[in-house]
Amino acid sequence: MLECKITKKLGYFVLDVDIQAIDGVTALMGASGSGKSTVLRCIAGVSKPDAGRIVLGGATLFDSEKSVNLPPQKRKVGFLFQDYALFPNMTVLQNIMCGANGAKKEKRKGIAEDLAESFHITVHLSKYPHQLSGGEKQRVALARILAGMPDILMLDEPFSALDSHLRWELENELAAVFARFGKPVLYVSHNRDEVYRLCDNIVILNGGQAEVSGEKWGLFKNPETVEAARLTGCKNIVPCTVNADKIIVPEWGVALDANGETAEFIGIRANYIMSACVVDKSEVAAAFEFEIVHEIESTFTNILYVRKKDTVLPPIRWEMPKKDRAALRALPQKLALMRENLLLLRR
Amino acid sequence: MDLFPLYNSLRISAIATLAALIIGILTAYLVLRLPSVLKGICDTVLTIPLVLPPTVVGYFILIWLSPKSALGSKFWEWFSLTITMRWYASVIAVTIIAFPFIYRTVRGSFEAFDQNLLDAGRTLGLSETYIFGRILLPNCRQGILAGTVLAFARGLGEYGATSMVSGYIAGKTATVSTSVAYFWQINQEQAAEYWVTVNLVVSFVFMILINVFNKPKARE
């Protein structure tokens, strides 16, 4: 269990977060500059918060009121840097042994060799980091961190330096590492699919604040804020106003039943828009005839930019599998927004 | 031909470079950790010998260390030791003059070094001493080496401060550069020419070495 309630001023930027991470994987999502990396650096102890408290597994790492500030060396934090930060002057074996410091040399070597085996990098043990591929570097960096038996794993966009074809294999390996680890894992990323597959809980950071947090299914279903909706991949987010019992959405040209709910913004995911001809009418929040402004053919889907017929409203993004696109041609050009798919959002 | 001046020059420069190397590396490491205003001030003060005429350095050494000065007289009192007009006075002068060459190049390579590697070392539990000695220094060796060669070359050719604090005493304080001036002044042109040639050869060798060490690193 990690509790991290800290503030830190960096020029005009103010980081003010209150994050809890239970055992299991917690994703920190946020746009660049939202403070994700700073949070990790503060927990690791390589940056110092102005005030607050960081408690990891019962041990206080930082407490401004009690003047506690453990050096990073004493925090037992496994930090995977974005570019892996392997020491270029040391071999793979020496790098991993660095992680197991404190023990006797023979024991460190044993730990390093065992980890190398489980990460399938035994053949690279005598190589230097510059002789390794990106994926191999990541495995070495992970082995090096695990050698120190940390109380928390923190990964800062672990796949950003990798080619996409390597990611899938490494992602599965990482999932296995997380499952075996059994302690809190903080995972910084802005790839929503990666986060959905690897993580249990999500914290959304926006402008230095932990805006929303929760278990992943709930958060994808109801992101609550504009930033959370955007980060979880919602492509259509527009302002709306609530008037009596109606939610008026000017950019879509529709008014919906409010049913007592309120919102500043409304969103719908691009692949949740339906053809009005194939849905249960009682669940429809709004339906209208549309025209296609622009169409993009992607690998497995078609992306349509549509708007209400005979208007000049900004287009709505609608994504569908290719076979659905073919079927749509035969249907009346009418779309439906389902009540359960609408995201009612605040700023 | 008497080769003492060459031996003396190499000796003075080697000892001074070693001293400047140790002091320069430690100062660069400490200055980098200072808050930025203090860093700027320290930086200026420490780099001043680079632009000062060496005679000014010589002047201060004489003021502080000559037998008549406050500190110099104590050395005589306690250790029966005279510092000025000895070959080791030149070591002090050359150390001060060579220092900025090492300090600046080393600080430059420390600054260019990926700070994440240092932080990674810390989170792995490695001590600051280990990180300094086994991660920072080895990965900055290119810059440290380049600074060392520059400092050594500068030390070999030192004249202004050397001639002030050690003078020219044949077989005792004579160096390659003071020899040239000395023999020219007493109209021994052949001897002067000989030492000019020695200077040219030594400088040439060192320029080659500097170029070798400053070659851009091959891409990894």
Q: Which residues lie closer than 8 Å to A232 by C-beta, 6 or more apart?
A: A29, A192, A202, A219, A220, A223
- Closest partner residue to B117 among A44, A85, A101, by Cβ? A85
* C-beta separation of A255 from A247 below 8 A: yes
pLDDT tens-digit series, residues A286-327: 999 999 999 999 999 999 999 999 999 999 999 999 999 999
pLDDT at residue B219, rounded to an integer: 44
ipTM score assigned to the predicted complex: 0.85
Which one has a higher pLDDT value, A259 or A139? A139
pLDDT along chain B (220 residues), means of 10: 88 96 95 89 91 93 88 84 88 95 94 94 94 94 90 91 92 91 92 92 86 61
Average pLDDT over all residues of chain A: 92
pLDDT at residue A97, rounded to an integer: 95
- CB atoms < 10 A from the CB of B171, how many? 9
Chain B hits for A101, Cβ within 8 Å: 124-126, 130
pLDDT at residue B29, rounded to an integer: 94
Determine contact: A304 vs chain B, CB below 8 A. Answer: no
Q: How confident is the model at residue A49 (pLDDT cuts 50, 70, 90)?
A: very high
Residue B217, Ramachandran bin (φ over 0: left; ψ between -120 and 50: alpha; else beta): beta
* C-beta separation of A346 from A226 below 8 A: yes
Tokens 């304080």, located at residue? B173
Euclidean distance between CA atoms A44 and B45, whole angstroms: 36
Euclidean distance between CA atoms B30 and A209, whole angstroms: 35
- Whole-structure pTM value: 0.85
Give the closest-approach CA distance of B133 to chain A in angstroms.
12
Domain borders along chain A are 2-227, 236-345
In three-state secondary structure terms, B33 is: coil
Give the closest-approach CA distance of B132 to chain A in angstroms.
12
| Domain count across chain B | 1
Flag if A98 and B121 touch (Cβ within 8 Å). yes
> Which CATH number characterizes residue B52's domain?
1.10.3720.10
Mutation target vs B (from A83, A98, A128; most B CBs, 10 A cutoff): A98
Chain A hits for B127, Cβ within 8 Å: 73
- Closest partner residue to A130 among B124, B134, B220, by Cβ? B220
Which residues in B have their CB inside 8 Å of a CB on A? 114, 116-117, 119-127, 130, 134-135, 138-139, 220
pLDDT tens-digit series, residues A216-242: 999 999 999 999 999 999 999 999 999
Flag if B124 and A41 touch (Cβ within 8 Å). no
Chain A hits for B125, Cβ within 8 Å: 73-74, 76, 99, 101-102, 148
Look at residues A320, A201, A231 and name the one whose alpha carbon lies nearest to residue A271: A320
Determine contact: A78 vs chain B, CB below 8 A. Answer: yes
- CB atoms < 10 A from the CB of A99, how many? 27
Chain B hits for A99, Cβ within 8 Å: 124-125
pLDDT tens-digit series, residues A233-291: 999 999 999 988 899 999 999 999 888 888 999 999 999 999 998 888 888 999 999 99
Flag if A78 and B126 touch (Cβ within 8 Å). no
Q: Which residues of B96-127 are buried (b: 16+ CB within 10 A; e: fewer)?
A: bbbbbbbbbbbbebbeebeebbbbbbbbbbbe
CATH 3.40.50.300 fits A2-227, yes or no: yes
- CB atoms < 10 A from the CB of A148, how many? 21
Quick check: is B219 in a domain?
no
Quick check: is B220 in a domain?
no
Angle between helices B4-32 and B176-185 (to 10 degrees): 130
Tokens 């003078």, located at residue? B167
Residue B168, token pair as written in the block: 């020219």
Euclidean distance between CA atoms A28 and A187, whole angstroms: 6
* C-beta separation of A263 from A312 below 8 A: no
Chain A hits for B143, Cβ within 8 Å: none
